[in-house]
Amino acid sequence: MIRDRYAPSPTGLQHVGGIRTALFNYLFARSTGGTFILRLEDTDRARFDESFVKNLYDTFCWLRIHWDEGPDTGGPRAPYIQSQRTDLYRKYAEELLEKGGAYRCFCSAERLERVRADREAEKSSQTGYDRHCRNISAEESAKRAADGEVFTIRLKIPLGEAINASSPAAVPVTRFTDRLLGDIEWKNSDISPDPVLLKSDGFPTYHLANIVDDHLMGISHVLRAQEWLSSTPLHIILYAAFGWGPPEFCHLPMVMGQDGKKLSKRHGATSIDEFRRQGYLAEALINYIALLGCSYEEGKDIYTLEDLEKQFSLDKLNKAPAVFDYKKLEWYNGQYIRMKDDGELARLALPFAVEQGLFGKTGTGNSEPNAEQLALFTAAMGLVRERAVLLGEIPSKLGYVFSEPGVPAPEEFIPKKADLEAARRLLRAGRELVPALSAGSDETAEAAAKAKAGQEEIKIGDLLMPLRVAVTGARVSPPLFGSLRLLGAQKCLARIDRALEALDKAAEQGNADLCE
C-alpha cells in the first residue's frame, strides 16, 4: 500500500518548488490508489508563522489538491502537526539512547563555539561537532543527566565500531538506492558528525521528527527535492539505529531558472500567491508544474489534473534538472483561458475587474458590478478570450465597454499616408456602416465592410481604423465587430458623432491656422 506525504515547514509562502513536491506526491498516490498525507513540520518555532499555515491551506484549496490525511482532515495517524508530537520524539530519542544509537552531549554552546573558532584559526578542514561526548560511559552519562546537567541527544554515526553487542560492526559507508538516481554510497566520515536529534529544550531537530513520523505514519515513499539528498544517508543510519526499514526514497530533479541557477526570486515570481495575483489559472500552474522534471506523451502539452492523476508514474521522472520557463507558463495560461466559457472566464476575471475599478467607484472604494454590468462583462469575454495571457489584463482591455473613452487626438484617427480630411471622410463612411456591422455575424459585417470599401475605393483597414478609434478610444483594441455588437448601434453612433465633432473642430482650427 503506497503512502506518501508532503511535509512542509511553515516558514514561508508556498512556492513553485514546494508545490512541485506536493503535486508529485499527490499524483503518485492518486495514480497508484495510495494515500497522500499532509504533515506540518513546524518544529522551527523561531521561523514559524501562522500566516504561512493559512497560505498553505489557501493555496492547496485553490489548486484543488486535497490530502487524504492531514491536520485539517484528520486520519488514523493523527496528530499531523509535529509541534503536537513532541512527547513522541522525546520517547524515541530516549529509546535510541538505550539502544546505543545515540548519546548525550553535555557540551555548552560556548564550548562548541570555541571549537569552531579554534578550527577556524587553525584553518582546519574539520567542521561540525568534534564528538567530544561520544565516549562518555552509559553510567556516567545517566548520572550527569540525573544530576540535572543540560544535554542534547546526538546521533552516533557509525564509524566502524560495533553499535552494541547485538548489532554487528557497522561498515563506515552508508548505501541506499534512490528510485530515480540509483545506487548511492556515502562515506560515513563525510556525514555531518553526530548531528543533534533532540535539543536541550526537548524539541526534536528536523532529522529525528521527520524519521519518527515517516515511520509511525507508515510512509512507504519519500518523494522530495534533491536538496535533501545529502540528508538521506543520515536518515538511513537513523532508520537502522531504530531497527526500522526505511521507505523508498526518490529525490526529484532540481528546478532551475533559465540561467541554470536554482529557481529563486531573482528569476521572477516563485510564490503561488504571486502567480495567482497576476492572474494565472490554477489549471495552468498545475499543468506546467507537473511537467517540471517529468515527461508524458511526446507532443502533448495539455494535461488536466484528472489526466495527470491517471498518467503519473515514477518511471516518467527525468534525472536532468528542469528549467522553469516563464514564457511557457504564460502560454499555458493563455491556453486555459481559451478553454473557459464566458461565464467561467467572467467569474475568474471578476475580482481583477473590481480591484481595477472597471465598474466604477463608490465613496468607499471600487464597486462591485450591478446585474447589467455583470451581464455585459460576461458577454465581453468573447472579445478578450483569444488574446489574453493573464486574467489581470482582461479588465484593462475592456475599459471602453464600461465607460465612454475620451476622444483621442485627431492624429490618432488618421491612417498612414492620409490626412485629416481623409480621416473625416472615412469615419463618416464608417458611420453609415454601423447598423450593418452591429447586427449579424463577423462574416456579414466583414462582407458589408468590404462592399463599402469597394464602393469608396479605399482599403478596408483604412475604412475601419477611424471607426475603431472612435468606438474604442484606441488604435489597438479587442475585435471591432464584436465590440460594435456588444455596445449596440446607438452607443457606437453617439461615440462616432462626438469624434466627428472633434475632427470637424480640428479641421476648422486647421483652416483658421492656414489663414493666419
| 224 versus 397: smaller Cβ distance to ligand GLU | 224
Helix (H) or strand (E) run with residue 221 in it: strand 221-225
Nearest to 405 by CA among 337, 463, 473, 460: 473
Pull the grid cell for residue 210: 521527520
Phi (first) and psi of residue 35, to 5 degrees: -120, 130
**Is 224 an interacting residue with respect to ligand GLU (CB under 6 A)?**
yes
Which of 3, 4, 7, 483 lies at the binding interface for ligand GLU (CB under 6 A)?
A: 7
Partner that binds at residue 133, options ligand GLU, Zn ion, none, CB closer than 5 to 8 Å by kind: Zn ion
Stretch that binds ligand GLU, among 2-10, 123-131, 146-154, 185-193 (CB under 6 A): 2-10
| 41 versus 462: smaller Cβ distance to ligand GLU | 41
Nearest to 38 by CA among 29, 46, 49: 29
Stretch that binds ligand GLU, among 5-13, 112-120, 194-202, 359-367 (CB under 6 A): 5-13
Helix ranges restricted to H, 35-132: 50-63, 86-99, 109-121
Cβ-contact 358, 402 below 8 angstroms: yes
Q: Which residues contact 450 (CB under 8 A, 6 or more apart)?
A: 460
Nearest to 5 by CA among 108, 61, 59, 81: 81
Partner that binds at residue 228, options Zn ion, ligand GLU, none, CB closer than 5 to 8 Å by kind: ligand GLU
Per-residue DSSP letter, 227: G
d(CA 79, CA 310): 30
| Contact map string, positions 107 to 136, toward Zn ion, x by CB under 5 A | x------------------------xx---
Partner that binds at residue 8, options ligand GLU, Zn ion, none, CB closer than 5 to 8 Å by kind: ligand GLU
Minimum CB separation from Zn ion for residue 104, in Å? 8
**Is 19 an interacting residue with respect to ligand GLU (CB under 6 A)?**
no
| 133 versus 254: smaller Cβ distance to Zn ion | 133
Q: Is 135 exposed, middle or buried (0-12, 13-18, 19+ CB in 10 A)?
A: exposed
Partner that binds at residue 132, options ligand GLU, Zn ion, none, CB closer than 5 to 8 Å by kind: Zn ion
Catalytic residues: 265
Partner that binds at residue 105, options ligand GLU, Zn ion, none, CB closer than 5 to 8 Å by kind: Zn ion
| 88 versus 112: smaller Cβ distance to Zn ion | 112
d(CA 444, CA 481): 10
| Contact map string, positions 31 to 50, toward ligand GLU, x by CB under 6 A | ----------x---------
Minimum CB separation from ligand GLU for residue 201, in Å? 19
Stretch that binds ligand GLU, among 7-15, 178-186, 191-199, 369-377 (CB under 6 A): 7-15
Long-range pairs, 501-510, Cβ under 8 A, ≥24: 502/407, 502/410, 503/410, 503/413, 503/420, 503/423, 503/424, 503/427, 504/424, 506/410, 506/420, 507/420, 507/421, 507/424, 510/420
| Contact map string, positions 89 to 108, toward Zn ion, x by CB under 5 A | ----------------x-x-
| 47 versus 143: smaller Cβ distance to ligand GLU | 47
How far is Cα of residue 131 from the mean position of the Cα atoms in its chain? Answer: 42
In the three-class reduction of DSSP (H, G, I as helix; E, B as strand; rest coil), residue 192 is classed as coil
| 112 versus 269: smaller Cβ distance to Zn ion | 112
Q: How many residues of this chain interact with ligand GLU, rule: CB under 6 A?
A: 7
| Subset of 157-216 contacting ligand GLU (CB under 6 A) | 210
E strand intervals along 12-161:
35-38, 102-105, 152-155
| 119 versus 132: smaller Cβ distance to Zn ion | 132
Per-residue DSSP letter, 107: -
Pull the grid cell for residue 51: 500566516
| Contact map string, positions 463 to 482, toward ligand GLU, x by CB under 6 A | --------------------
| 8 versus 71: smaller Cβ distance to ligand GLU | 8
Minimum CB separation from Zn ion for residue 90, in Å? 19
Partner that binds at residue 7, options ligand GLU, Zn ion, none, CB closer than 5 to 8 Å by kind: ligand GLU
Partner that binds at residue 17, options Zn ion, ligand GLU, none, CB closer than 5 to 8 Å by kind: none
In the three-class reduction of DSSP (H, G, I as helix; E, B as strand; rest coil), residue 196 is classed as strand
Helix (H) or strand (E) run with residue 167 in it: strand 167-169
Which of 2, 9, 144, 167 lies at the binding interface for ligand GLU (CB under 6 A)?
A: 9
Which of 4, 8, 485, 495 lies at the binding interface for ligand GLU (CB under 6 A)?
A: 8
Nearest to 437 by CA among 502, 378, 368, 493: 493
Cβ-contact 284, 37 below 8 angstroms: no
**Is 228 an interacting residue with respect to ligand GLU (CB under 6 A)?**
yes
Cβ-contact 133, 103 below 8 angstroms: yes
| 249 versus 303: smaller Cβ distance to ligand GLU | 249
Minimum CB separation from ligand GLU for residue 226, in Å? 11
Minimum CB separation from ligand GLU for residue 115, in Å? 28
**Is 144 an interacting residue with respect to Zn ion (CB under 5 A)?**
no
| 176 versus 228: smaller Cβ distance to ligand GLU | 228
Cβ-contact 248, 220 below 8 angstroms: yes
d(CA 293, CA 16): 13
Minimum CB separation from ligand GLU for residue 41, in Å? 4
Q: Is 127 exposed, middle or buried (0-12, 13-18, 19+ CB in 10 A)?
A: exposed
Query: Which residues would be at the binding site for ligand GLU (CB under 6 A)?
Result: 7-9, 41, 210, 224, 228
Can you give the binding site for Zn ion, defined by CB under 5 A?
105, 107, 132-133
